[in-house]
Amino acid sequence: MVMRRHILNAVETGESDPVAARLRGRVRAEPNDVGLRLQLAAHYGQIDLQELELEHLRLAVERFPLSWEARRALAGVLRAATLSAQAVETLAGFVRSGDDAARDLELLNLLGICQDEAGDWKAGEGAFREALALAPERDYLHNNLGFNLLEQGRVGEAIVSFEQALKRNPRSAVARNNLGVALARSSAIPEAVRHFENLVDAATANSNAAAALMEQNRYHEGRRLLEAALDHNPRNPAALANLKLVSEHDRKPAEVRLRPLASGWKRPLALLRRTFGFSPPKPREGGDRQERIAMSSKELSKEE
């Protein structure tokens, strides 16, 4: 800890980082330029000094309380550090304070995501619905509302939201994946598999549908889908890994000989990535670690 503090002090004083020293000099010369302060904070994030990144973003918000760019940056870094409750606090009182609809839309969307990740699903739903009232044509907002509803167990409503997202953007892989998960949970298995097959091969599509059922402890139904997946491709690694998980839970032997999985193999996923409309901070170690057997995905605004 003492050594870490020495490193931070050296960077802050410019002893070991000429880029930081140059930016700090510009900030001192132009103290009312919020953009320079955000550049300095971003630099610290890029060199993996998150303590300084957060410190300077908090100072930026304190000095420029009306800057939506500073709020967005701070909330994004807090979220990446799995401090979603603090991100909500950063945004909640500010997000409706201006008259810039595009800005409000982006911050409402980010607020909803942070509220979801803090476990406040009802508040997240409200933020997404408020954003949709501003821009009902945005597919990612329908997708994010659908994700929220799915996590609340309101599967039928979630399906409608994902269908609305695909109506507006038929090429959205995120919404199509999420619709597949929702359909599987609603027992519309053939339809779920068809949606997954728009994204992956038939074996992986059946395995993804099985994973969605396994999340609900529906291992018997999941096993049937995994057998179908292995009929398509007996060596499909996702299906083999999921069949191993099913066997561990239902105590029944696997129907095929399980081959050793590669070292470090994670539980198979249908789709992992969220999409961002701006350069987001990378998740910290221990944050946003996608290791579920299946998951739905959210999207941040695709526009600045």
Q: How far, in Å, CA of 229 to CA of 223, rounded?
A: 10
Q: How far, in Å, CA of 109 to CA of 83, rounded?
A: 17
Convert the pLDDT of each residue in 93-124 to its tens digit.
Answer: 888 766 676 688 899 999 999 999 999 999 99
Mean pLDDT of 284-291: 30
Convert the pLDDT of each residue in 126-174 to its tens digit.
Answer: 999 999 999 999 999 999 999 999 999 999 999 999 999 999 999 999 9
pLDDT score, position 103 = 80
Residue 278 has pLDDT above 60, yes or no: no
pLDDT score, position 289 = 24
Residue 304 has pLDDT above 80, yes or no: no
pLDDT score, position 95 = 82
Q: How far, in Å, CA of 180 to CA of 206, rounded?
A: 11
Residue appearing with tokens 């009306």: 66
Longest dimension (CA), the chain: 70
pLDDT score, position 291 = 25
Give the number of other Cβ atoms within 10 Å of residue 6's Cβ: 10
Output the average pLDDT for the chain: 81
Mean pLDDT of 181-196: 93
The domains of the chain are located at: 1-64
pLDDT score, position 187 = 92
In Å, what is the CA distance from 212 to each residue of 85, 198, 216, 246?
Answer: 28, 17, 7, 12
Residue appearing with tokens 């996923």: 269
Q: How far, in Å, CA of 74 to CA of 87, rounded?
A: 7
Give the number of other Cβ atoms within 10 Å of residue 18's Cβ: 9
pLDDT score, position 259 = 47
pLDDT score, position 251 = 77
